[in-house]
Amino acid sequence: MENEIIEIVKNLVSIIKSNNLKSISIQSKELSIQIESSEIFNIEKKEFIEAHQKDKPPSNDEVKENGNYIFVKAPLIGTFYRAPSPDSSPFVEIGDIVEPKQTLCIIEAMKVMNEITVEKRGKIIDIYPENGEMVEFGKNLFKVELLAE
């Protein structure tokens, strides 16, 4: 039954998409399904994001295209720590070469230590927050110069 419903929904979604419909509904004795498309919504979202992008610092992708830097941003709000514990040495220093998936720092939120990693191989050019500082969502943490892998 579950699988059948999933199949039906899949088919309806593809009908909505291919015919650019706003909503579709079917009804039988056992079930009724109504699906509304959020396509219009998505277009608005895209426009909204585009309109806002000019005021924002360039995103990771854009910078990559220009050349050699990426910014590692805070994926959540919390306290920024450069080392795994107060008496250990920092994960990274300026000038260090880092490998993909390497931990750069910790952000603590509600007593959970979240390890923040880097996606690409590169060299740490700058570290923005101080150890123990509060960071907002989206704040630049590290500037990394990309290096060939």
Partner 1 sequence: MKKIKRILIANRGEIALRIIRACKDLSIETVQVFSEADADTIPVKLADRSICIGPAPSNLSYLNPSAIITAALLLDVDAIHPGYGFLSENSSFASICEDYGIKFIGPNSSMLKLIKNKANVRKIAKEVGVPILPGTLDPIEDEMEARMIASEIDYPILLKAAMGGGGRGIRKVSNQEELDELFALAKRESFTAFGSDEIYIEKCLSNPRHVEVQILGDGKGGVVHLGVRECSIQRKHQKIIEEAPTLALNSNQIENLTRTAVKLAKALNYENAGTFEFLSDDVGNFYFMEVNARIQVEHPITEETTGIDIVKEQIKIAENGTLSIRQEDVKQKGWAFEFRINAEDPGTFTPQAGKVDFLHFPLGPNIRIDSHIYCGYMIPPFYDSLLSKLIIHGPSRENCIHTAKRALEEFTIEGIKTNIPLLLKIVNDKDFLDAKISTSYLEKFTNNGAN
Footprint of partner 1 (CB under 8 A): 29-32, 40-41, 44-45, 47-48, 51-52, 55, 76-79, 109-110, 134, 136-139
The Cα-based distances of 73 to 124, 126, 128 in angstroms read 13, 12, 10
**CA count, 13 A, side-chain hemisphere, 87:** 0
Task: Please give the backbone phi and psi of residue 70, each rounded to the nearest 5 degrees, phi first.
Answer: -130, 155
For the bound state, the minimum distance from the C-beta of residue 5 to partner 1, rounded and expressed in Å, comes to: 10
Pairing mode, if any, of strands 103-109 and 78-81?
antiparallel
What is the nearest approach in angstroms of partner 1 to the Cβ of residue 115? Answer: 16
Task: Tell me how far, at minimum, the Cβ of 6 lies from partner 1, in Å.
Answer: 13
| Closest to partner 1 by CB, 78 or 122 | 78
- CA–CA dist 85, 38 (Å, integer): 46
For partner 1, give the closer residue by CB, 89 or 137: 137
CB-nearer residue toward partner 1: 48 or 100: 48
